[in-house]
Amino acid sequence: MKKTSLVIIGNGMATGRLLDELSKRDLSAYSITVIGDEAHGCYNRIMLSPVLAGEVTPSAIINKPSEWYQRAGIRFISGARVQKIDPGQKRVMTEQGDTFAFDELIVATGSRPVAIPAGNQQLSHIYSFRTLDDVERIMASAYSALGGSFEPNRLKQVNAVVIGGGLLGLEAAYGLAQKGLAVTLVHRGDWLLNRQLDKPAAALLEKVMREKGVSFQLGCEVVRFDGVKDVRGVELSNGDRLACCLAVIATGITPNKELGLAAGLKGERGIAVDEYMRTSDPSISAVGECIEFNGVTFGLVEPIWQQCITLADRLALQKLTPFCNSPVATKLKVSGVQLFSAGDYLTAPAHRELTYSDSATGVYRKILIKNGQIAGVVLFGDVRDGQEYFEMMHAQRSVIEVVQSLLLGKAFYQSELAAIAA
Amino acid sequence: MENGLNMTDTLVAKQSIKTTCCYCGVGCGVVASVEQGQLTAVQGDQSHPANLGRLCIKGSSLHQTQESPDRLLRPSVNGKETDWDGAIGYVAESFKKIIAEHGPDAVAFYLSGQLLTEDYYVANKIMKGFIGSANIDTNSRLCMASAVVAHKRAFGGDLVPGCYEDLEQADALFLVGSNTAYAHPVVYQRIAKAKGTRPDMSVVVLDPRRTATCELADWHLPLRPGSDAHFFNGLLAYLVRIKRIDHDYIAHHCEGFDEALATAESVGNVAAVAKVCDVPVEHVQAVFDLFARTEKVVTVFSQGINQSSSGVDKGNAIINCHLATAKIGKVGACPFSITGQPNAMGGREVGGLANQLAAHMSFTSQKEIDRVAQYWQAPNMAQNEGLKAVDMFKAIKTGKIKAVWIMATNPVVSMPDANNVKDALQACELVVVSECVADTDTAKMADVLLPATTWGEKNGTVTNSERCISLQKGFLSAPGDALHDWQIMVRFARHMGWQEAFSYSHPVEIFREHARLSGLENDPGSSGREGVQERGFNIGALQAISEFDYQNFEPLQWPVTAANPRGTKRLFSDGRFFTPSEKAQFIPVQARLPMVTPNQWQVIMNTGRIRDQWHTMSRTGTASKLMGHIDEPYIDVHPLDIEHFGLQQGQLGLLANRGAVFYGRIKASMDQRRGEVFVPMHWNDKYAASSRADALVNDVVDPICGQPEFKHSPVTMEAFVQAWNGFLICMDDIVPSAQYWAKITLDRGYKFRLAGNVLPEDWRSWLSEPFQDIDEWTDLNDSDRQFYRAVGYRGGIVTVILSIAADETAPQEVRWIEQQLGQQVDVNARFALVAGAPGAGVEDEGSIVCSCFEVGDKAIAAAIATGCTSARALGERLRCGTNCGSCIPELNALIRQGQTLDCLAESGQS
């Protein structure tokens, strides 16, 4: 029997997980081709920051080297960018001119850094922070600022500006600072991670980052880059100027939807899919950061793993497991500090706010209660029982009885519950 | 070598030194172990007649209270440290000036039953012989004055007829207004042991409260407060009616019987007695019969009798019954006044009271005044009695007395109407305080502070309740500039220009002088000759005691005379008394109920001791072990009164009278009568925000002896309406800013229970005020302000722990959290500290019942539940009660409680 030809465009984390899920089920019905525009096999993008920091080597984060594809009987086309999908002919064409026919196509093109409105972005030594190549370019640029000499201990003379105080920007800044560069992070929000953290938690994070050597410019934007050919500095909306010979833009991501939309697939913010990851074309599916589901796009791994399961069930088992976009908690590790954020993270007048703070160890925990139930959680530095809170929040459990020890974790509120029962 | 012990010797070797306990009037012998100049352990002296090796919890903790963090070390004048010459010079010049301008009665000494006999003697001699006033009184006025006068009226001298052995030998023992289990634990143990050996021995307790002592009692009659004289008058009349009096004895050895009987009979029959005493008539009948039919009866009486507006009469009502039945001067038969303080008796012996002269002589006899004047070579002998304690402080307030020197006592806490005492001292021109502790409530009022030595450092004699003189020995060197009280007064006398009369260099010299005076013109059988009156107090045989014998003083019961050189166990065995006629005197007693009666909104506040604290806690308060039993001021209230006054068990209540307020934890207690509450007398401004019971006591005194009515104060009672409560545990001794706080000494640091009626704006600022040097805080904050927790770290060490709840429920307190103070803790424990609980796996012991082995009520309850149904079985299992034994009454109570609950549980199921 002829195998079904399954082509996957993109080789990011969603594809990696999807291949794993398919392998767990049954690959025998498919001959699989993966086309990726990066040179490497699938790697863990979350680990870019430690790579930049020099804490791990690039190869250590690659979880699917070329041999893996080989062993799994998967054709892996690396360094190739798909230029066009032809749904009618059921084939895709790469920029290199190669054509691949498919019976089933999966678009997993991911996302790219969002552009910023600053002027002079054409200057050299302005990078995004998205791929292993970016990491390599950034470091090369740092050394070139030193005249190309490999003198890691002189990196502190290199001024770098990182734009964006979200997770990505913080990780870039952390990596650079660990390398020894003099880093200033510019962030439009009034505090760091202002989509996940409240101000006190962000202040603690800022303190930790400052201790690592990162400086901050908060509440302002980069208006333009200075320089003739190479970037030499940035001009800020507050009038300040920062000298730099290297800038990283990490202000957020936007779905790589264009390839799919150009092929006539439906979608606005991303490639629209249904709850089984089907696009508007019956033989094309999409998964990961490039999609749009019920108007929502994705940037965290957890829901994407769910999407991969749904897709694998359908493709390998013909089983329809609906994807349900359940709310997720943000669990992050920034600069070695654990963070957890779920639900409401800013205290409003309707909330009863419980906070725990430990100035010595830099631990901050907050639970917001509304109508006797958890409405939001922010944990910084010590995230124990975050998941418990998260589940209690979604189960809408009353927490009033254990309100005194709730924030200290299960070990304590369970004994309080036991004491009440006794 | 002023205290007669070679300090260099104590520094090198380990020594066992015999001394006497500094707490209650039992006067137990103590063997102190001293190593490298430090007191390392104490044990009971097997050879001491008072305790025969036993010690109570306070006594066995002596070594743990020796190191006081706030010892007074330097003299100071008006807050400025100075040297001795500067300080004493200032005091002497001020006294001289005031005496010159206003006369000798413008100055006063206020002393203490904690002073040694030699200290007392010097103070008395200065005031009465040299300053020329008798304005010298003592805190013994607060506990013993009634008994003193009762003795004098009946026996012609302040003479305790019997000895502790009599309590063991009696066939019926009456304990009247005396909670010996708490106040005199070793005597209680002796009684308990005797009763254990001879179960036929009957024990009767007369006390409005069901005290721990009642555990031992065959009969407890919860008399209406203050109705004791009615009871004993009724008994006397009853004894006559049923013809159980000793006519022969009365005829040969007593006077005044008919008159006394006539007055006593006015109380009426047994039913009438039962009615006025508010106890069942059958009980009165049974107890009267017990007294009547038993030969060997001892009636022990204490503060319940003495601290009354008719205490002297009550004492005589008791003595009358003993005289009428000749139950006196015999083995196992006597009235027995038991004293509260270690040396109340010594003070009485030297005459250190305003209405005594010296050595049992009095101002009523010019011959005696002249005798003492001549003996002292006194230039300015006082001729009249001085002002007794309550009147003395009133005179200070009105400015009649302009200078007062307070030694070794804390009247701002212990006097009735104590806030007025505080005001009086504030108004007084010169307040001199000799103290060993720097910051007692009274020391805070002082213009001149003089550092005195304390127990273990000072050397001298004390006399216990059975007239037994023993030595309190100095074996530790004095800290800082501290001097012995007698030395301080000798310096004062020298500055006053009386060096010759006060040339002592060792306490033995003072003792000899005192002994010789006691024997002066006091030969046995001398009464009536040439107007001479023989005195019962006579230790003339010791007037030439060698320094060696003094330093190794063998306990002796006075009189110690040539005829009885080894002392005297019992007095009056020969039927001779120390009155001019040598006959005992019946005193007609008009029984009176307490002076001030409560209105319908008031309850009667009774005050007293708790087991593990002593007086105003300046010593016992420093030992965590002694705080384990009861750690907070409380109010014992009958459960129905709790309902009646709208209170709740465990909440804070407040009592008020005379503008003073007492805060205490409400404790439901079936031991209380309706309408009556009991509060501990110990707490003061150093240990609580406002829990000085004596500030609520009316300044009502016995008209004869001036002793205040501490046991009967009508006060209002209500719940303290709190907005928040909680606890604070910290390394530093602070004064928390809260309407209510009570300080509890821990092994390391302190715990404060807190409550307030207004929530502070912000807890973090509330904390940062007293704890400015905390570098790191952990806290748990609730925007609804229902609770707050914080832990402060100094250099990573747990230094402050605060837990607050905004409702009535008190934050959970576990002993584990106290143990974290001063520790470096890991991240997990930082959570646990804020949680206030160690998490799973750590058992809490509950509140400590046995202080010796730190056994808590939870452990005891568990042991009872699994079959330990006697105190002994509990002791075998948990060791509780096997050391000092003070907790045995409570163990028994817990056993009873456990059994009651069992039966309730069963009936609930059926």
**Cβ(B42)–Cβ(B60) under 8 Å?**
yes
Amino acid at B72: L
Instruction: Please indicate if any CB of chain A lies within 8 Å of the CB of B763.
Output: no
Is there a contact between A357 and B779 if contact means CB atoms under 8 Å apart? yes
Nearest to B390 by CA among B659, B137, B149: B137
- Report cis status (omega within 30 of 0) of the bond before B594: no
Question: pLDDT tens digits for A62-95?
Answer: 889 999 999 999 999 999 999 999 999 999 999 9
Position B6 confidence tier, pLDDT thresholds 50, 70, 90: very low
Is there a contact between A358 and B840 if contact means CB atoms under 8 Å apart? no
Instruction: Please indicate if any CB of chain B lies within 8 Å of the CB of A376.
Output: no
**What are the backbone angles phi and psi of residue A71, rounded to the nearest 5°?**
-60, -35
Average pLDDT value for residue range B728-739: 93
Residues of B in contact with A351 (CB under 8 A): 783
The region of weakest confidence among A21-35, A351-365, B2-16, B605-619 is B2-16
How many other C-beta atoms lie within 10 A of the C-beta of residue B475?
Answer: 22
Task: Indicate the SS3 state at residue B6.
Answer: coil
- pLDDT of A209: 92
- The pair of structure tokens assigned to B768 is 């940062």
Predicted-complex ipTM score: 0.78
Q: How many residues make up chain A in this entry?
A: 422
Position A11 confidence tier, pLDDT thresholds 50, 70, 90: very high
Question: pLDDT tens digits for A163-194?
Answer: 999 988 999 999 999 989 999 999 999 999 99
Instruction: Please indicate if any CB of chain B lies within 8 Å of the CB of A351.
Output: yes
Amino acid at B314: K
The region of weakest confidence among B46-60, B218-232, B539-553 is B46-60
Is there a contact between B783 and A352 if contact means CB atoms under 8 Å apart? yes
Give the list of residues 6+ apart from residue B343 with CB closer than 8 angstroms, or none. Answer: B113, B114, B115, B116, B117, B120, B462, B463
Position B908 confidence tier, pLDDT thresholds 50, 70, 90: very low
Q: Please tell me the distance from the alpha carbon of residue B317 to that of residue B332, in angstroms, as a whole number.
A: 19
* Angle, alpha carbons B511-B517-B518 (nearest 5°): 90
How many other C-beta atoms lie within 10 A of the C-beta of residue B265?
Answer: 16
- The pair of structure tokens assigned to B149 is 């006068």
- pLDDT of B382: 96
| Among the partner residues A351, A358, A404, nearest to B830 by beta-carbon distance | A358
- pLDDT of B3: 45
How many other C-beta atoms lie within 10 A of the C-beta of residue B562?
Answer: 11
Nearest to A365 by CA among B818, A373, B729, A374: A374
Residues of B in contact with A361 (CB under 8 A): 827, 830
Measure B909 CA to nearest chain A CA, in Å.
19
Question: pLDDT tens digits for B310-348?
Answer: 999 999 999 999 999 999 999 999 999 998 778 888 888
**Cβ(B472)–Cβ(B395) under 8 Å?**
no
- pLDDT of B909: 36
Measure B905 CA to nearest chain A CA, in Å.
17
Whether B907 shows a pLDDT value over 80: the answer reads: no
Q: Which class for B758: exposed (0-12), middle (13-18), buried (19 or more C-beta within 10 A)?
A: exposed
β-bridge mates for residue A370, sequence order: A373
- The pair of structure tokens assigned to B733 is 């001794």
- pLDDT of B311: 94
Q: Please tell me the distance from the alpha carbon of residue B506 to that of residue B1, in angstroms, as a whole number.
A: 8
- pLDDT of B129: 96
Residues of B in contact with A353 (CB under 8 A): 781-783
Position B906 confidence tier, pLDDT thresholds 50, 70, 90: very low
Q: Please give the full DSSP string across B759-772, using - where no structure is assigned.
A: --S-HHHHHHTT-T
Whether B486 shows a pLDDT value over 90: the answer reads: yes
- pLDDT of B5: 47
Q: Are strands B334-337 and B297-301 parallel, antiparallel or unpaired?
A: parallel
Give the list of residues 6+ apart from residue B111 with CB closer than 8 angstroms, or none. Answer: B119, B120, B123, B136, B137, B138, B139, B347, B352, B407, B408, B409
Question: What Rg do the C-alpha atoms of chain A give, in angstroms?
Answer: 23
- pLDDT of B902: 57
Is there a contact between A352 and B782 if contact means CB atoms under 8 Å apart? yes
Position A145 confidence tier, pLDDT thresholds 50, 70, 90: confident
- pLDDT of B844: 56
Question: pLDDT tens digits for B113-150?
Answer: 889 999 999 999 999 999 999 999 998 888 888 999 99
Is there a contact between A358 and B776 if contact means CB atoms under 8 Å apart? yes
Q: What is the largest CA-CA distance in chain A?
A: 75
| Residue to substitute from A358, A399, A400, A414, interface B, most B β-carbons within 10 A | A358
Measure B829 CA to nearest chain A CA, in Å.
11
Is there a contact between B780 and A411 if contact means CB atoms under 8 Å apart? no
Is there a contact between A407 and B780 if contact means CB atoms under 8 Å apart? yes
Q: Please tell me the distance from the alpha carbon of residue B64 to that of residue B619, in angstroms, as a whole number.
A: 10
Residues of B in contact with A372 (CB under 8 A): none
Question: pLDDT tens digits for B172-189?
Answer: 999 999 999 999 999 999
Q: Please give the full DSSP string across A332-350, using - where no structure is assigned.
A: EEETTEEEEEEE--S--TT
**Cβ(A18)–Cβ(A59) under 8 Å?**
no
Question: pLDDT tens digits for B658-689?
Answer: 889 999 999 999 999 999 999 998 888 889 98
Q: Please tell me the distance from the alpha carbon of residue B452 to that of residue B532, in angstroms, as a whole number.
A: 39
Torsion of CA A56, A57, A59, A60, to 10 degrees: -20
Question: pLDDT tens digits for A312-354?
Answer: 999 999 999 999 988 888 877 777 787 899 999 999 999 999 9
Is there a contact between A359 and B835 if contact means CB atoms under 8 Å apart? no
- Residue B579 DSSP class: S
Nearest to B254 by CA among B590, B576, B588: B576
Whether B842 shows a pLDDT value over 50: the answer reads: no
Question: pLDDT tens digits for B410-448?
Answer: 888 778 787 888 999 999 999 999 999 888 889 999 999
| A·B CB contacts under 8 A | 70
Helix A167-179 vs helix A199-211: crossing angle, to nearest 10 = 20
Q: Please tell me the distance from the alpha carbon of residue B903 to that of residue B713, in angstroms, as a whole number.
A: 38
- pLDDT of A1: 63
- pLDDT of B13: 67
B820 vs B95, more confident: B95
Nearest to B815 by CA among B876, B747, B738, B867: B747
Q: Please tell me the distance from the alpha carbon of residue B463 to that of residue B27, in angstroms, as a whole number.
A: 7
Whether B843 shows a pLDDT value over 70: the answer reads: no
- pLDDT of B383: 96
Position B543 confidence tier, pLDDT thresholds 50, 70, 90: very high
B754 vs B891, more confident: B754
- pLDDT of B131: 96
Q: Select the highest-mean-pLDDT range: B12-16, B226-230, B703-707.
A: B226-230
How many other C-beta atoms lie within 10 A of the C-beta of residue A7?
Answer: 25
Q: Please tell me the distance from the alpha carbon of residue B3 to that of residue B485, in angstroms, as a whole number.
A: 12
Question: Which residue of chain B is at minimal alpha-carbon distance from A418?
Answer: B840
**Cβ(A217)–Cβ(A187) under 8 Å?**
yes
Whether B848 shows a pLDDT value over 60: the answer reads: yes
Instruction: Please indicate if any CB of chain A lies within 8 Å of the CB of B786.
Output: yes
The residue ranges of DSSP E strands in A197-336, in sequence order, are: 214-218, 222-227, 231-236, 241-243, 246-249, 253-255, 271-272, 284-286, 291-292, 330-334
